[in-house]
C-alpha cells in the first residue's frame, strides 16, 4: 500500500519496541529481566484509583471541554503555584492525552517548515521525530559525563540561530537522569534572555523523582523574565504511577494553549473524562505515595550504579533523578561473544544481552549516543540484582 511520505520520516518508538519484545519473551515463559520499561512498577495509589471508580459511577463518562475540565485546570493551577510559585489562569492550561501528546500538540502548533528546535542529547526518543513530523529540523547539543550530561551556556549560545523556534529542556532527563541546578538554569536563562525569539519547552515529567536531597527548579521559576516564553509540560504518568491513564498538560501563553486545544479538537477531542477526575485527586490528594516511591527508587539507583561501576569496561554516571541510569559500555566494544560475534555497537551489545543473558535494555543509539545503554530501575530490587548478576556474567564471557 502506498503510504504518506511522513510515515517513513520517523521511527517507531524504540523504547516501546524493546519493552514489547521483553514482554513477549516473558509471555512465552522465558525468564527475562526487563530494564526497558519507562514506567513505575508501583500501582496507581488507592485513593486515585477510587476517584476514577467514583467518576464512572457519578456519570463523568461523556464528552468534556477539549482542553481540559475546569476542576483539573484548577488543580494544575494550584500545583504550579504550590510547587513552583508560578501563576497561571485556566486559559493558560491545555490538557491532553499524556505529556507525549502535549509535546506533539506544541510541535504542531509552533513549528513552520524549516524551523529549528534545539534538543540537548542524549535525548528522549520522541522529541526529534515529533519535530520532523511537524516539518522542523532537530538540532542536537550532545553532552556526556564530563558535564553531568548537561548543556553549557556556551554550547547553547553557539547553537541558537535566527531559525531557532524553541529549546527543549528535560530535567530530570530521560535517558540520563541528569538534573539541572538552580544556578545552571540561571546561566542558561541569561543566554536565552539575549535571544528573545527563542521559546523554552520545559518537560518536567520527572520533576518529583529527584534524589540526594536535591530540589527541582523550573527555568521560569528561576528566571521570571522567561515565563512568558516558557511552556511547562507535565503529567501524572510518572509521579503517580498513572502511565495508562493518559493525562498530560501544558502551562504557557494563552494564544498557544488555544492553538493546541484547537488542533486537539480535530484529533482526539478531550482526554479521557474518568482519567481527568482521577488526576484531580492525584494533584490535590495526599502526596505520601510519591515520597515512598522516591525512597525506593533512590535505593535502587545507588545499588545499580555501584554494581555497574564494578564491572570491567563499564562506567556509570551517578545521576540524581528520573528512574534511569545511562552507563557507558563502550569499554566492552571490540570483544567477541562466546558464539564469535564481535560487539561493535550498543545494538550488538543489547542483542547479545537479550539472547545470551535474557536481559533487556535499550541501546544508547536510540537516544543519540552509541556508547551507552539505558537501564530503567523501575523494576523490583530482586530483579535488579538478578539482572546485574546476569550482565556481569555476560561481560565476563566476552573474549
Q: Which residues bind ligand PLP (CB under 6 A)?
A: 38, 98-100, 124, 170, 174, 203, 205, 235, 237, 243, 248
In the bound state with ligand PLP, the residue whose beta carbon lies nearer, of 116 and 203, is 203
Least separation in angstroms between residue 244's CB and ligand PLP is 9
Element (H, E) at 109: helix 99-110
Least separation in angstroms between residue 28's CB and ligand PLP is 26
Contact 236, 274 (CB under 8 A): no
Task: Tell me whether residue 213 is exposed, middle or buried, using C-beta atoms within 10 angstroms of its C-beta: 0 to 12, 13 to 18, 19 or more.
Answer: exposed
In the bound state with ligand PLP, the residue whose beta carbon lies nearer, of 122 and 394, is 122
Element (H, E) at 363: strand 362-363
Least separation in angstroms between residue 97's CB and ligand PLP is 8
Cβ-proximal residues to 101 (8 Å cutoff; 6+ apart), any chain: 246, 248, 268, 271
Contact 333, 343 (CB under 8 A): yes
Phi, psi of 216 (to 5 degrees): -90, 140
In the bound state with ligand PLP, the residue whose beta carbon lies nearer, of 98 and 327, is 98
| Alpha-helical regions (H) of 230-320 | 254-265, 273-284, 288-309
Element (H, E) at 79: helix 70-84
If you ran DSSP here, which 8-state letter would residue 342 be given? B
In the bound state with ligand PLP, the residue whose beta carbon lies nearer, of 211 and 352, is 211
Least separation in angstroms between residue 394's CB and ligand PLP is 27
In the bound state with ligand PLP, the residue whose beta carbon lies nearer, of 99 and 160, is 99
In the bound state with ligand PLP, the residue whose beta carbon lies nearer, of 44 and 237, is 237
Q: CA 244 to CA 238: how far, in whole Å? A: 10
| C-alpha grid cell, residue 350 | 543489547
Least separation in angstroms between residue 338's CB and ligand PLP is 34
| C-alpha grid cell, residue 58 | 457519578
In the bound state with ligand PLP, the residue whose beta carbon lies nearer, of 320 and 337, is 320
Least separation in angstroms between residue 99's CB and ligand PLP is 3
Task: Tell me whether residue 26 is exposed, middle or buried, using C-beta atoms within 10 angstroms of its C-beta: 0 to 12, 13 to 18, 19 or more.
Answer: middle
Whether omega for the bond prior to residue 345 falls within 30 degrees of 0, making it cis, is: no
Element (H, E) at 52: helix 46-57
Residue whose C-alpha cell is 511547562: 232
In the bound state with ligand PLP, the residue whose beta carbon lies nearer, of 73 and 100, is 100
Least separation in angstroms between residue 133's CB and ligand PLP is 16
In the bound state with ligand PLP, the residue whose beta carbon lies nearer, of 126 and 330, is 126
Least separation in angstroms between residue 203's CB and ligand PLP is 5
Q: Which residue is nearest to ligand PLP (CB)?
A: 98
Least separation in angstroms between residue 257's CB and ligand PLP is 17
Cβ-proximal residues to 274 (8 Å cutoff; 6+ apart), any chain: 52, 55, 56, 60, 61
Amino acid at each position: 500500500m502506498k503510504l504518506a511520505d511522513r510515515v517513513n520520516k520517523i521511527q517507531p518508538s524504540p523504547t516501546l519496541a524493546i519493552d514489547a519484545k521483553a514482554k513477549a519473551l516473558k509471555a512465552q515463559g522465558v525468564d527475562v529481566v526487563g530494564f526497558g520499561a519507562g514506567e513505575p512498577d508501583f500501582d496507581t495509589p488507592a485513593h486515585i484509583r477510587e476517584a476514577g471508580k467514583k467518576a464512572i459511577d457519578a456519570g463523568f463518562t461523556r464528552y468534556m471541554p477539549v482542553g481540559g475540565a475546569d476542576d483539573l485546570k484548577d488543580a494544575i493551577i494550584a500545583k504550579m503555584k504550590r510547587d513552583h510559585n508560578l501563576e497561571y489562569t485556566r486559559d493558560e492550561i491545555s490538557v491532553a492525552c499524556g505529556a507525549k501528546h502535549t509535546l506533539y500538540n506544541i510541535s504542531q502548533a509552533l513549528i513552520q517548515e524549516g524551523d529549528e528546535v534545539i534538543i540537548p542529547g542524549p535525548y528522549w526518543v520522541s522529541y526529534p521525530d515529533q519535530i520532523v513530523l511537524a516539518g522542523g529540523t532537530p538540532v542536537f547539543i550532545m553532552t556526556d559525563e564530563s558535564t553531568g550530561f548537561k548543556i553549557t551556556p556556551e554550547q547553547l549560545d553557539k547553537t541558537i540561530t535566527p531559525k531557532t523556534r524553541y529549546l527543549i529542556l528535560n530535567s530530570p532527563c530521560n535517558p540520563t537522569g541528569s538534573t539541572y541546578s538552580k544556578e545552571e538554569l540561571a546561566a542558561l536563562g541569561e543566554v536565552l534572555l539575549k535571544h528573545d525569539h527563542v521559546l523554552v519547552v520545559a518537560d518536567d515529567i520527572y520533576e518529583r523523582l529527584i534524589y540526594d536531597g536535591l530540589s527541582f527548579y523550573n527555568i521560569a521559576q528561576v528566571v521570571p523574565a522567561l515565563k512568558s516564553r516558557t511552556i511547562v509540560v507535565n503529567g501524572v504518568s510518572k509521579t503517580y504511577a498513572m502511565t495508562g491513564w493518559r493525562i498530560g498538560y501544558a502551562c504557557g501563553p494563552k494564544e498557544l494553549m488555544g492553538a493546541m486545544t484547537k488542533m486537539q479538537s480535530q484529533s482526539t477531542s478531550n482526554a479521557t473524562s474518568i482519567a481527568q477526575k482521577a488526576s484531580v485527586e492525584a494533584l490535590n490528594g495526599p502526596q505520601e505515595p510519591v515520597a515512598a516511591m522516591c525512597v525506593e527508587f533512590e535505593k535502587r539507583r545507588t545499588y545499580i550504579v555501584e554494581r555497574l561501576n564494578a564491572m570491567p569496561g563499564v562506567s556509570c554516571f551517578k545521576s540524581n533523578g528520573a528512574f534511569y541510569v545511562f552507563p557507558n559500555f563502550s569499554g566492552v566494544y571490540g570483544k567477541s561473544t562466546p558464539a564469535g560475534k564481535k560487539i561493535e555497537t550498543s545494538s550488538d551489545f543489547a542483542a547479545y544481552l537479550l539472547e545470551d543473558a535474557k536481559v533487556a535494555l535499550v541501546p544508547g543509539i536510540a537516544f543519540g549516543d552509541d556508547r551507552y545503554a539505558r537501564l530503567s530501575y523501575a523494576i523490583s530490587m530482586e530483579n535488579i540484582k538478578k539482572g546485574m548478576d546476569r550482565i556481569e556474567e555476560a561481560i565476563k564471557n566476552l573474549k
